[in-house]
Amino acid sequence: MRTERPFVMSVAGYDPSGGAGLLADIKTFERLKVQGLGVCTAMTIQTGSQCISLEWQPLETILLSIDILMKNYPVKVVKIGVVKDAEFLNEVISTIKANHQETKIIWDPVLKSTSEFSFFDLNTIPQLKNVIQQIDLITPNYHEYKVLQENHVFQVGDGSCSVLIKGGHRENQLGTDVLIDNGKEIAIEPNDTSSDFYPKHGSGCVLSSAIAGHLAKGENMEQACRKGKLYIEKFLTSNPTLLGFHS
């Protein structure tokens, strides 16, 4: 018997190790039983522990791919991963919105890799103030949030974009995420404090994709973030290596 699955799109980089980017997103979508579509923003050479090189795909090709997919499939949520700069991000979002204004957008702002490989052009961060209005959720880690905050990206009281500050890099309350939604701060604490958590390549990609999947299935923002946290905790405890299992 066939059952319908909501469509979710990942616009992200290709990581040949499968730990991050498009491949990790699609694995997450499949595990959550949503239909995953993928558009590649960059080709990388990397492993679970290091990124060696990155080659950006032509913006025209990316936008055309998004346009064609959205004209053929009812995409409910788009998760955006690694992008070149603020203008690049704005063009991607504009193409999504031109096709379907109601499609939800999550941006996981990959500014640097864990191995300190730079992705996003930090000089364009101030321009994000004009882009942020069209995004539903941003999922920075604690350090990325500080960079965005210092550049006054988040307008006080604009209420236009929810922010999930991931707690994996915090010095205090390690593992506690903070969701800022409609001006309200919600602490999302770890569900499992008894298991051993192992560092994982691509954990940010997996979390944002899990949230996207749950949003597409009808959860509200808070519940999607809570269920995304449950998913990432299983991922972080799946094995002691840098490449996690989706199970």
Query: What pLDDT was estimated at residue 227?
Result: 98
- Structural domain boundaries in the chain: 7-236
What gap in Å lies between CA 48 and CA 119, rounded to an integer?
A: 16
Can you tell me which residue has the tokens 């730990």?
19
Can you tell me which residue has the tokens 């707690």?
167
pLDDT at 231 over 60: yes
The chain-wide mean pLDDT, for the chain, equals 92
- Which burial class, exposed, middle or buried, applies to 22 when counting CB atoms under 10 A from its CB (0-12, 13-18, 19+)? buried
What gap in Å lies between CA 21 and CA 100, rounded to an integer?
A: 24
**pLDDT, tens only, 171-194:** 666 789 999 998 899 999 998 877
Question: Is the separation of the CB atoms in 182 and 159 below 8 Å?
Answer: yes
Between 227 and 167, residue with greater pLDDT: 227
pLDDT band at 152 (very low <50, low <70, confident <90, very high): confident
User: Is residue 12 classed as helix, strand or coil in its secondary structure?
Assistant: strand
**pLDDT, tens only, 31-82:** 999 999 999 999 999 999 998 999 999 999 999 999 999 999 999 999 999 9
CATH class of 7-236: alpha beta
**pLDDT, tens only, 112-145:** 766 567 789 999 999 998 899 899 999 999 889 9
Lowest mean per-residue pLDDT among 93-102, 105-114, 121-130: 105-114
Query: What pLDDT was estimated at residue 113?
Result: 63
Return the structure tokens found at 37.
């579509």
The mean pLDDT of 89-110, rounded to a whole number, is: 97
pLDDT band at 242 (very low <50, low <70, confident <90, very high): very high
**pLDDT, tens only, 44-54:** 999 999 989 99
User: Is residue 217 classed as helix, strand or coil in its secondary structure?
Assistant: coil
In the chain, beta strands by DSSP E: 7-14, 35-46, 51-56, 75-80, 104-107, 137-138, 162-165, 177-181, 184-188
The mean pLDDT of 94-107, rounded to a whole number, is: 98
Return the structure tokens found at 48.
């679970």
Query: What pLDDT was estimated at residue 114?
Result: 61
Query: What pLDDT was estimated at residue 3?
Result: 72
Query: What pLDDT was estimated at residue 154?
Result: 80
Nearest in space to 167 (alpha carbons), one of 220, 207, 194, 195: 207
Can you tell me which residue has the tokens 């998760």?
79
Evaluate the CA torsion angle 142, 215, 68, 1 in order and state its sign. positive
